[in-house]
Amino acid sequence: QSALTQPPSASGSRGQSVTISCTGTNSDVGGYNYVSWFQQHPGKAPKLMIYAVTERPSGVPDRFSGSKSGNTASLTVSGLQPEDEADYYCSSYAGSFTWVFGGGTKLTVL
Amino acid sequence: EVQLVESGGGLVEPGGSLRLSCEASGFTFRSYSMNWVRQAPGKGLEWVSYINMNTPSTYYADSVKGRFTISRDNAKNSLFLQMNNLRDEDTAVYYCVRDWTWAFDVWGQGTVVTVSP
């Protein structure tokens, strides 16, 4: 149950796009199409932004998109807005009813 | 409104016990598997435990296996986490989280557990 690897920080100017990576192994990210992404503002509970690698829950702006290649998943935020500044976490199903999270990425909107 | 409300957190000494509760509302609780996820101060998220809608299938992270027990009472729309032999590293905000197609789609506001002498 090792954590997935995310860059500690990412940044972009308002209106630009930024991509956050999430690297795991064949036992989690690479083995299942059950990667999720969460947004967390300070002092708040996480919010599901992407599930099943590419799917967006109702109410999540289409500026948020997900993808996966091999053992690495990615979250792309297009048209950055000030309210997108937050911590982002990936997670993946890891088999046998266990899950693993990434260490988190702090996104700064310049 | 779909809602999860945790309670039961607090200050406990190392080696002590604590029982967390989570009350669900706004959805058919018995139709969903549930999880506990925690976040240590200033740290990332850590999945702790899972219980499916038809107990007693339960699963745990290695870090809590043998010390924590997840359970549910579908008649009372409630999820529980019994935490025994608590350690300093168990200090965290504990979130009650609904499972939906292997994703964590609804989160409670969290309850704070502090393990300290």
Which pLDDT does position A8 carry in this prediction?
97
- Tell me if B107 and A46 make a contact (CB, 8 A cut-off): yes
Where residue B102 falls among pLDDT bands split at 50, 70, 90? confident
- Looking at A1-110, which runs of residues are DSSP E strands? 9-12, 18-23, 35-40, 47-50, 64-69, 72-77, 86-93, 99-101, 105-109
Answer whether B46 sits within 8 Å of A101, measured CB to CB: yes
pLDDT of residue A1: 67
The mean pLDDT of B26-44, rounded to a whole number, is 97
Return the amino acid letter for B89.
E
pLDDT at B1: 95
Q: How far apart are CA A14 and CA A12, in angstroms?
A: 7
Distance from CA of A85 to the nearest CA of B (A): 16
pLDDT digits (tens, 9 = 90+) for B20-32: 999 999 999 999 9
Contacts of residue A101 in chain B, CB cutoff 8 Å? 37, 44-47
- CB contact, 8 Å: A47 with chain B? yes
pLDDT in tens, chain A (110 residues): 679 999 999 999 999 999 999 999 999 999 999 999 999 999 999 999 999 999 999 999 999 999 999 999 999 999 999 999 999 999 999 999 999 999 999 999 99
Q: What secondary structure letter does DSSP report for A55?
A: B
Q: What is the pLDDT of residues B49-99, one digit of tens each?
A: 999 997 679 999 999 999 999 999 999 999 999 999 999 999 999 999 999
Helix, coil or strand: residue A79? coil
Asked if B78 contacts B72 with a C-beta cutoff of 8 angstroms, the reply is yes
- Residue A87: the pLDDT is 98
Residues A105, B44: Cα–Cα separation, whole Å: 9
Buried b (16+ CB within 10 A) or exposed e, A60-89: beeebbbebeebbbbbebbebeeebbbbbb
Tell me the residues of B at the A interface, defined by beta carbons under 8 Å apart.
35, 37, 44-47, 50, 52, 57, 59, 61-63, 95, 100-105, 107-110
pLDDT of residue B46: 98
Instruction: Give CA–CA dist B6/A36, Å, rounded.
Output: 23
Contact in structure between B55 and B32 (CB atoms under 8 Å): no
According to DSSP, the β-strands at B10-12 and B111-115 are parallel
Concatenate the DSSP letters of all residues of B49-96 into one string: EEE-SSTT-EEE-TTTTTTEEEEEEGGGTEEEEEE-S--GGG-EEEEE
Please report the pLDDT score of residue B26 as a whole number.
Answer: 98
Per-residue pLDDT reduced to its tens digit, B103-115: 999 999 999 999 9
- Interface touch A97/B44, C-beta < 8 Å: no
